[in-house]
Structure 1
Amino acid sequence: MRSIAWGAAASLALVATAAPAMAQEESQVSVLHAVPGLTVDVYVNGEETLPDFEPGTLTDPLTLAAGEYDIEVYPAGADPDSEDPAISAEGLAVPGGENLTLTANLDADGNPALNAFVNDTSQLDAGQARLTVRHTAAAPAVDVRAGGSPVIEGLTNPNEEVLNLDAGTVSADVTLAGTEDVVIGPADLDLGEGTNTIVYAWGSAEDGNLDLAVQTIDGLHGDPEGVPSGEGGLVDDSASAWLWVLGAAGVAGALVAGRKLSTATPSA
Structure 2
Amino acid sequence: MKAPLRSLALLASAGILATLPVVLPGVATAADESMVSVVHGIPGQPVDVYVNGKKTLDNFQPASVAGPLSLAAGTYDVALTKPGEPASSALLENKSLSVPGGKNLSLVAHLDTADKPALTAFVNDTAMIAAGKARLVVRHTAAAPAVDVRAAGKPVFPGLTNPNEAKADLPAGTVNADVTLAGTSTVVLGPKDLDLAPGTSTIVYAIGSAGAKTLALTAQTIKDLGGAPSSMPTGTGGLADDNAGAWWSALSVSGVVLVLLGIVLLFRRRADTRTR
The residue identity in structure 1 corresponding to 2:197 is G
Deviates more, 1:86-95 or 1:98-107: 86-95
- Residues 72-221 of structure 1 aligned to structure 2 (within 5 Å): 73-78=80-85, 84-86=89-91, 94-221=99-226
Judged with a 3 Å threshold, the aligned counterparts in structure 2 of structure 1 residues 68 and 145 are, in CA distance, closer, same or farther, namely closer
The whole-number CA distance in structure 1 between the counterparts of 2:33 and 2:161 is 31
- SS of structure 2 residue aligned to 1:197: strand
Contact persistence 1:29–1:102 (CA under 8 A): yes
Is the 8 Å Cα contact of residues 26 and 64 (structure 1) preserved in structure 2? Answer: yes
Measured after TM superposition, the shift of residue 211 of structure 1 is 0.7
Deviation at 1:163, TM superposition (A): 1.0
Q: How far, CA to CA, are the matches of 1:136 and 1:92 in structure 2? A: 18
8 Å Cα contact 1:99/1:118 also seen in 2:
yes
TM-aligned CA deviation for residue 138 of structure 1: 0.4
Does 64-73 or 194-203 show the bigger shift?
Answer: 64-73
SS in 2 for 1:179: coil
What runs of 5+ residues in structure 2 fail to find an aligned partner?
A: 1-28, 228-276
126 and 75 in structure 1: CA distance in 2 versus 1, 3 angstrom threshold: same
| Identity over aligned pairs, percent | 58
2:77 and 2:181 map into 1 onto residues whose CA distance is 41
The answer to whether the 8 A contact 1:142-1:153 is kept is yes
Count of aligned pairs:
200
Name the one with the larger helix percent. 2
Q: Secondary structure of 1:138's partner? A: coil
Matching residue of 2:15? none
Query: Counterpart in 1 of 2:243?
Result: none
Instruction: In structure 1, give the amino acid aligned to 2:156.
Output: V
Which digits, 9 at most, give the CA deviation of each residue in 1:81-118, with x for residues without a partner?
A: xx744456879775421111110101112111111111
Check conservation: 2:179, 2:189, Cα contact below 8 A.
yes
Q: Measure, in 1, the Cα distance between the counterparts of 2:34 and 2:220.
A: 17
Distance (whole Å) between structure 2 residues aligned to residue 44 and residue 166 of structure 1: 38
User: What CA distance in whole angstroms lies between the structure 2 residues aligned with 1:23 and 1:124?
Assistant: 21
Q: Computing the radius of gyration over CA atoms, which structure comes out larger, 1 or 2?
A: 2
Which consecutive unaligned segments of at least 5 residues does structure 1 have?
Answer: 1-21, 223-268
Structure holding more strand per residue:
1
Report how far residue 202 of structure 1 moved. 0.5
Q: Specify the alignment match of 2:60 in structure 1.
A: 53
1:5-43 deviation digits (Å, cap 9, x = unpaired): xxxxxxxxxxxxxxxxx9970101111011112222344
Work out the CA distance in 1 between the residues paired with 2:124 and 2:101. Answer: 14
Match of 2:263 in 1: none
Task: From 30, 33, 36, give the equivalent of 2:37.
Answer: 30
Q: 1:76 to 1:127 in 2, by over 3 A?
A: same
Cα displacement (A) at 1:75: 2.5
Are positions 1:63 and 2:70 aligned together? yes
Q: CA deviation at 1:153?
A: 0.8
2:94 and 2:106 map into 1 onto residues whose CA distance is 21
**1:155, CA displacement in angstroms?**
0.5
Look up the SS of the partner of 1:204 in the other structure: coil
Shift of 1:56: 1.4
Structure 1 residue 179: Cα displacement: 1.2
Greater length-normalized contact order (CA 8 Å, ≥ 6 residues apart): 1
The CA distance in 1 between the partners of 2:182 and 2:149, in whole Å, is 9
Deviation at 1:160, TM superposition (A): 0.6
Aligned partner of 2:207: which letter? Answer: W
